[in-house]
Amino acid sequence: MLDETRYEFSIRENGTTVTKEHENTPDVASIHIHKVDDAGASLSDVCFLLEYSVDNGANWMPVQYRAVDSKVFAGGCTSERLENGLLETGEDGIVSFTGLCRSNAMGTVKYRLTETATAEGYLLLTEPAFEDYLPATGETDISLTVVNVPEFTIQSLLLAYQYCGNRSCNSSKHRNDSYNHHYDIVFPTLFKILLCRFVGLRLSVIHFFEL
């Protein structure tokens, strides 16, 4: 951070050397997360872990709390309630990691944001919500909207499969009905995807909506 303070001094004797040392304060930034469901409603009790790396992601460490008026350092975070790099969303679904160091003498600092626990009845994200460097200049804050989809149970899978079979029988008599034909395609595929999810295959939500 550029220090624009003017420091005055005077030289009263020839040959006198005046030395003034001043340490620049590193720039800081913040990461704000709004956690919502697929309908846009805020989700509380969702836990996020923020980690940092000074070697381009080779090694990761959780950020740690520092006081607002303390010295800025890589991995420091001024968010209250921070514990081992973890923060939890409130009723408004928002959580903020503040006072983050953007760069230090070793170079830029990389950050990784991971969801470690989600609201009851929702699927946990399988990939980091954010993994990148903070902006070197300009806007100091990053705002993210992270979406979770509802979790499906074995019972809902069986009901979906049963419903799929009924729709297929009905649509076989009415092939000109595009609405029924749509169910012939979507529901068997949907069932397979959800079933794969339960047997441990890591399928992203994006694949679900691309179908």
Q: What structural domains and CATH numbers belong to the chain?
A: 28-148 (2.60.40.10), 154-210 (no CATH)
pLDDT of residue 11: 62
Angle between the N-to-C axes of helices 178-198 and 154-172, in degrees from 0 to 180, rounded to the nearest 10? 150
pLDDT of residue 38: 87
Percent of the chain with pLDDT over 90: 47
- The band of 107, judged by pLDDT with boundaries at 50, 70 and 90, is confident
pLDDT of residue 119: 92
Sheet arrangement for strand 141-148: 94-101, 28-37, 141-148
pLDDT of residue 29: 92
Mean pLDDT confidence for 41-59: 95
- Phi first, then psi, for residue 112 (nearest 5°) are -135, 125
Q: Are 183 and 170 in contact (CB under 8 A)?
A: no
pLDDT of residue 2: 43
* Stretch among 16-25, 53-62, 106-115 having the lowest mean pLDDT: 16-25
- The band of 204, judged by pLDDT with boundaries at 50, 70 and 90, is very low
* Euclidean distance between CA atoms 190 and 94, whole angstroms: 31
Percent of the chain with pLDDT over 70: 57
Beta pairing partners, 146? 35
- The band of 149, judged by pLDDT with boundaries at 50, 70 and 90, is confident
pLDDT of residue 99: 95
pLDDT of residue 150: 86
Beta pairing partners, 33? 95, 144
pLDDT of residue 102: 87
- How many Cβ atoms sit within 10 Å of the Cβ of residue 77? 24
- What is the rounded average pLDDT for all residues in the chain? 75
Which one, of 124, 101, 100, lies nearest residue 114 by Cα? 124
* Euclidean distance between CA atoms 187 and 192, whole angstroms: 9
pTM above 0.85, yes or no: no
pLDDT of residue 169: 45
